[in-house]
Structure 1
Amino acid sequence: MQFIQSTDKSLFLHNHHQNRVPLTHRIMMESPESCVILTNPINKSIALIPDDDYIITDMAASIRAVEEILDYNFKNKKLLEQALTHSSCTDSPSYQRLEFVGDAALGLAISNFVYLTYPELDPGQLSLLRSANVSTEKLARVAVKHSLYKFVRHNTTTLDEKVKEFVIAVEQEEEAEVHGGVMKAPKVLADIVESVVAAVYVDMHFDLKLLWKKINRLLEPIITLDLLAQQPQPVTMLYELCQKDGKHVDIKHWRKEEKDIASVYVDGQFVVSATSENKENAKLHAAKSAITKLACNHTSKLDLEVEPNTEFGGAKQKLNELCGRKKWPAPTYRIEKQVGPSHDRRFICSVQVAVAKGVVFVMGDEKTRVKDAENSAASAMIWGLQGSNLS
Structure 2
Amino acid sequence: MSIPGQAAADALVRRIGVSIDPDLLVLALTHRSFAYEAGGLPTNERLEFLGDSVLGIVVTDHLYHAHPDLPEGELAKMRAACVSQKSLAIVAREIELGPCILLGKGETATGGSDKDSILCDAFEAILGAVYLTHGIEVSRDVVLRLVGPSLAAAARSGAALDWKTSLQERCAELGLAAPVYDVDGEGPDHARVFTARAVVDGTVRGQGTGSAKKHAEQEAAAAAYASLATFESSLKADAITSDVS
Task: Report the TM-score range of the alignment, normalised by the length of the smaller protein.
Answer: 0.5 to 0.7
* Deviation (angstroms), 1:193: 0.7
* Deviation (angstroms), 1:243: 3.5
Who is 1:195 aligned against?
A: 125
Q: 1:246 to 1:126 in 2, by over 3 A?
A: closer
Q: 1:233 to 1:80 in 2, by over 3 A?
A: closer
Aligned identity (percent) is 24
Work out whether residues 77 and 162 of structure 2, in 8 Å CA contact, stay in contact via their aligned partners in 1.
no
Q: Deviations over 1:322-352 (max 9, x none)?
A: xxxxxxxxxxxxxxxxxxxxxxxxxxxxxxx
* Deviation (angstroms), 1:197: 1.3
Who is 1:129 aligned against?
A: 78
Q: Deviations over 1:181-219 (max 9, x none)?
A: xxxx52x33221111112222332x1x233222332322
* Deviation (angstroms), 1:128: 4.0
Who is 1:243 aligned against?
A: 172
Who is 1:78 aligned against?
A: 23
Counting only pairs closer than 5 Å after superposition, residues 34-49 of structure 1 correspond to structure 2 as none
Work out whether residues 264 and 287 of structure 1, in 8 Å CA contact, stay in contact via their aligned partners in 2.
no
Work out whether residues 81 and 154 of structure 2, in 8 Å CA contact, stay in contact via their aligned partners in 1.
no
1:161 to 99, 102, 110: 110
* Deviation (angstroms), 1:66: 0.7
If asked which structure has higher relative contact order (CA below 8 Å, sep 6+), I would say 2
* Deviation (angstroms), 1:286: 4.7
Q: 1 or 2, which has the higher strand percentage?
A: 1
Q: CA RMSD in A?
A: 4.4
Work out whether residues 238 and 287 of structure 1, in 8 Å CA contact, stay in contact via their aligned partners in 2.
yes
Q: 1:80 to 1:286 in 2, by over 3 A?
A: same
Q: Which amino acid aligns with 2:14?
A: E
Work out whether residues 20 and 129 of structure 2, in 8 Å CA contact, stay in contact via their aligned partners in 1.
no
2:10 to 64, 82, 89: 64
- 1:285 aligned onto 2:230: no
- 1:101 aligned onto 2:50: yes
Q: 1:241 to 1:59 in 2, by over 3 A?
A: closer
Q: Which amino acid aligns with 1:80?
A: L
- 1:233 aligned onto 2:162: yes
Q: 1:265 to 1:106 in 2, by over 3 A?
A: closer
* TM-score, with structure 2 as normaliser: 0.62
Q: Which amino acid aligns with 1:212?
A: R
* Deviation (angstroms), 1:135: 3.8
Number of residues paired by the alignment?
212
Give SS of 1:215's match.
helix
Give SS of 2:150's match.
coil
- 1:217 aligned onto 2:162: no
Gaps of 5+ in 2: 183-194, 211-215, 238-245
Work out whether residues 70 and 215 of structure 1, in 8 Å CA contact, stay in contact via their aligned partners in 2.
no
Q: 1:101 to 1:70 in 2, by over 3 A?
A: same
Q: 1:160 to 1:143 in 2, by over 3 A?
A: farther
* TM-score, with structure 1 as normaliser: 0.42
